Amino acid sequence: MKKSSIKIKFILGFLVIFFTSNMALNLYIRKSIEENRKISIRDEKNSLFKSSREFIRNTLEGDMGEISEETLKKSAYGLVVKLSVLNKSYVSIRDSHGDLIEEINTDIPIEAINENSDVKEAIKNNAYYVLDNYGGRAILRFSYPLYLNNKFLGVVCFREDYSNVNSRDMGLINDITIIQVITLIIAIIFSAVLINRLMKPLKTLTKKIEDMRNGIYDGEIRVKSKDEIGILANTFNIMKNEISQYILSLEVEQAKVMKLEKTRQEFFNNITHELKTPLTGISSYAQILEEGVDDEEFSKRAATRIKQESDRLHGLVLDLIEVSKGNTEIEEEEALIDISKLIEKVSNDLYKKAEGYGARIVLELEKIELVGREKKLQQLFINVIDNAIKYSVPNKEIRIETFRYNGFINIEIENHSEKEYMENTEQLFLPFMKGDSREKGSRGLGLNISRKIVETHKGTIEIKWQNYKVQTLIKFSDVNILATS
């Protein structure tokens, strides 16, 4: 890779853009001048047509009193002389067949005079003009049919030298081209100087990056300017320091990775055990029933046991699917959900279970509506309320409250624990992490799944544990609320 490749690319790109734009501008100016010249010639010829025809009419009416082709022939010489003097151009008058009657030449090339395409057009009743080049001179040929008193009397022809006009226009175009070339040269010089100033700190930056690749992190780039290059240098210095700090923290991160590997191993050990236990029970009872049992009561008990273990296995598999897919698949459409009603419904469903544990659910709900997926949110509330029931001590209330505060929807579940304090409550959200629950069938997946559901709804969930009280706090942003009452 060439060190000056950026500089070369920038200059070449600039030259291409500037040259192309200047060429386009030059062509546009040329075209505009040409169009303006055509418009000017057209207007001049319209004026010449009107003025010369009126001049001929007035002359014929004054001299002869009667206007006809014969009177035109008699007055033709005087007419061409006066028209030539007035317009400083070649003038000829021809009859209705195009034959020459009289002409006055004013140093017009004979080739332009003998070219009769404009005369032929005039005989066809068309006023016609064309600008052609003859021996390096621009000659305008103009002819029109002469009608007076609705009579076609002949053709009036003009030949004018437009070389000065062409020279003036070309001079203007050449001046513009010279200015564009000078501007291009100045722009190239300015760009080269500017690029050299920009490339100097970039080269320093490149060297520092090479040092970093070789493990050298000392020294900083010092740029006094406060433009984008200065910002880049300061940002690089910050990044270099952050990378240095990151490298120093690699040992800590490595320890975390080792701990994660240990957790993963425990995960597979637990899942093996969790799957094996219900399958063993199902297999044993199924084998006994297959061999045939005369005891009807045992058969019913075995069927009940198989059903219970199947439900347990089914629930475990569903929980594992949720954990393994990270709860990223969205199968349910979002809708406006009354959170308070949903919590009330789940609490009613779990009321009997709470009674069985000697607990009582107390609701303090403010009506709040939230955009979300109802089934997922229902699963969330089942998990956290069921968790509060399982880990609560007997004869204590489980308080559930919803309220708005500081731009957030707050859902707070409070229960009492036999433990006074737990320092690291974050570990409770890890898969298969179980506390001292009175429910032996707990798999330790509820809070892990709950966190994934909350995060899917752009919220947060945490557990605070102190003075024998456990608070599960769930927050959703107020932005998620479509309507409240």
Q: Are 459 and 411 in contact (CB under 8 A)?
A: no
Predicted pLDDT at 476: 92
Residue found under tokens 């997946």: 445
Predicted pLDDT at 485: 39
3-state secondary structure 101-152: EEEECCCCCHHHHHCCHHHHHHHCCCCEEEEEEECCEEEEEEEEEEEECCEE
The CATH code of the domain at 250-324 is: 1.10.287.130
- Sequence-ordered strand ranges (E) for 406-458: 408-416
Give the burial string for 131-161 (b: 16+ CB within 10 Å, else e): beebeebbbbbbbbbbebeeeebbbbbbbbb
CATH class of segment(s) 5-169: alpha beta
Report residue 197 CA to chain centroid gap: 33
Enumerate the domain spans of the chain: 5-169, 250-324, 335-480
Residues 20, 258: Cα–Cα separation, whole Å: 62
**Eight-class DSSP state of 383:** H
Report residue 98 CA to chain centroid gap: 70
Residues 392, 353: Cα–Cα separation, whole Å: 12
Residues 7, 206: Cα–Cα separation, whole Å: 14
Residues 129, 39: Cα–Cα separation, whole Å: 12
Residues 161, 447: Cα–Cα separation, whole Å: 98
**Along the 485 residues of the chain, how does pLDDT read in single tens digits?**
444 566 677 777 777 887 788 888 888 888 888 888 888 888 988 999 999 999 988 888 876 667 888 888 888 899 999 999 988 889 999 998 889 999 998 788 999 888 889 999 999 999 999 989 888 888 999 999 999 888 899 999 999 988 888 777 778 888 888 887 888 888 878 877 777 777 777 777 777 777 777 767 666 666 666 666 777 777 777 777 777 777 778 777 777 778 767 766 665 655 654 565 566 567 666 766 777 767 777 777 777 768 766 876 776 677 666 656 554 444 568 899 999 999 998 888 787 788 888 889 999 999 888 899 888 898 889 889 988 888 888 888 999 999 998 889 999 999 988 887 787 787 788 876 665 555 554 556 778 888 889 998 889 999 988 888 898 999 998 765 544 43
Residues 412, 364: Cα–Cα separation, whole Å: 10
Tokens (6 digits) for 475: 């927050």
Residues 112, 37: Cα–Cα separation, whole Å: 20
Nearest to 461 by CA among 408, 396, 386: 408
Please name the amino acid found at residue 8: I
**Eight-class DSSP state of 292:** -
The DSSP H or E segment spanning 159 is strand 151-161
Paired residues of 404 in beta bridges:
409
Residues 481, 151: Cα–Cα separation, whole Å: 90
Q: How many CB atoms lie within 10 A of CB 446?
A: 21
CA distances from 434 to 250, 309, 356, 431 (A): 30, 20, 21, 9
Tokens (6 digits) for 270: 């637990």
Predicted pLDDT at 32: 85
Nearest to 9 by CA among 184, 186, 199: 199
The CATH code of the domain at 335-480 is: 3.30.565.10
Tokens (6 digits) for 438: 């009175």
